[in-house]
Structure formats: C-alpha cells, structure tokens
Amino acid sequence: MAGYNNILVGLDLSEESSQVLERAAQIAADSGAQMSLAHIIEPLTFAYGGDIPMDLSEVQEQLQTQAKEQLRKAAASLNIPPERQHVVLGQPATEIHRLAEEAGCDLIVIGSHGRHGLALLLGSTANGVLHGAGCDVLAVRVQPANQ
C-alpha cells in the first residue's frame, strides 16, 4: 500500500493534542507526506444562540488569537510553515472536510476521546469528521494527560 502525501491534522489544542500530533508526524515521516494543522473554533453565537445580550466579538477575537499562538507553537516543533496552519471559525467537522478537500489531503488525523453513553449521543467531532470525509480518517485514541 502506498503512503500518504498530504495529511491534515485536526487539533483541539488540549493537553492531549500532542498525542495526535505525534502520531500524525510519525505517519508523515514514514510516508514522506506534508502536514497541515487545523483548529476549528465554534462561534460563541453557536454555543449561546443569542441568549446572552452582549457583544461577544472581542471574546471571540481573543480565542482566535490564543488558538493561533498555540497552533504556531505546535507547528514550529515540526517545521510546518504558516501557510499550512489554519485557525478557522465554524463547525468543526464541516470545516475540516472543507480544508482537507481544498488542500487535496489524502488523510485526516484527529483525536478521539472514546466517549460513551450520553456524551456519544450528544455528538462527537471525530464521528462527524469520519462520516463525510472524502479521504481516509485516522482517529487517534487519546489518553487523559494525567495518566
């Protein structure tokens, strides 16, 4: 089986993200593939549906600035150039699919927390990415950072 050429790594920027990044970097090194990193921020208006009578744009901008800095640090450790670092506002699965398609990715690597029961019923980004991706998807089972 041929290796991969273009890998998109979806990161939630939690402490466990390093596990996903390490696995993706290993695959990229084995395949000689280039990697791109993506972090998707859901708009605060999605989460609160306009129920809060205040302007959340400044908070949203701060979240984006912090995410860009965290992603930049993660990318620097693997020499991933700025043009392959994406912080996007939107619905995570939809935006990951879009970025992967636009970049011609043949693999998406994401983390999976292995939730069960109600947490699984409420939705999972990993599940959303898996169903609808136009390329292979690797869901890396992450372990809690304190283990």
Give residue 48's pLDDT.
54
Of 70 and 128, the structure prediction assigns the larger pLDDT to 70
Give residue 119's pLDDT.
46
CA distance 117 to 125: 15
CA distance 11 to 125: 11
Q: Which of 40-54, 55-69, 83-97 has the lowest mean pLDDT?
A: 40-54
6 close to 125: Cβ distance less than 8 angstroms = no
Instruction: Check: pTM over 0.75? Answer yes or no.
Output: yes
How would CATH label the architecture of 6-141? 3-Layer(aba) Sandwich (3.40)
Phi-psi region of 41 (alpha: psi -120 to 50; beta: other; left: phi over 0): beta
Give residue 24's pLDDT.
97
Give residue 2's pLDDT.
66
Please state, rounded to an integer, the average pLDDT across all residues of the chain: 86
Instruction: Sketch the domain layout of the chain as residue ranges.
Output: 6-141
Give residue 132's pLDDT.
87
Average pLDDT over residues 25-50: 85
119 close to 85: Cβ distance less than 8 angstroms = no
Closest by CA position to 99, among listed 80, 81, 85, 118: 85
121 has pLDDT over 50: no
Residue type at 5 in one-letter notation: N
Phi-psi region of 123 (alpha: psi -120 to 50; beta: other; left: phi over 0): left
pLDDT, tens digit (0-9, with 9 covering 90-100), for 64-114: 999 999 999 999 999 999 999 999 999 999 999 999 999 999 999 998 876
Tell me the percentage of the chain whose pLDDT exceeds 70. 82
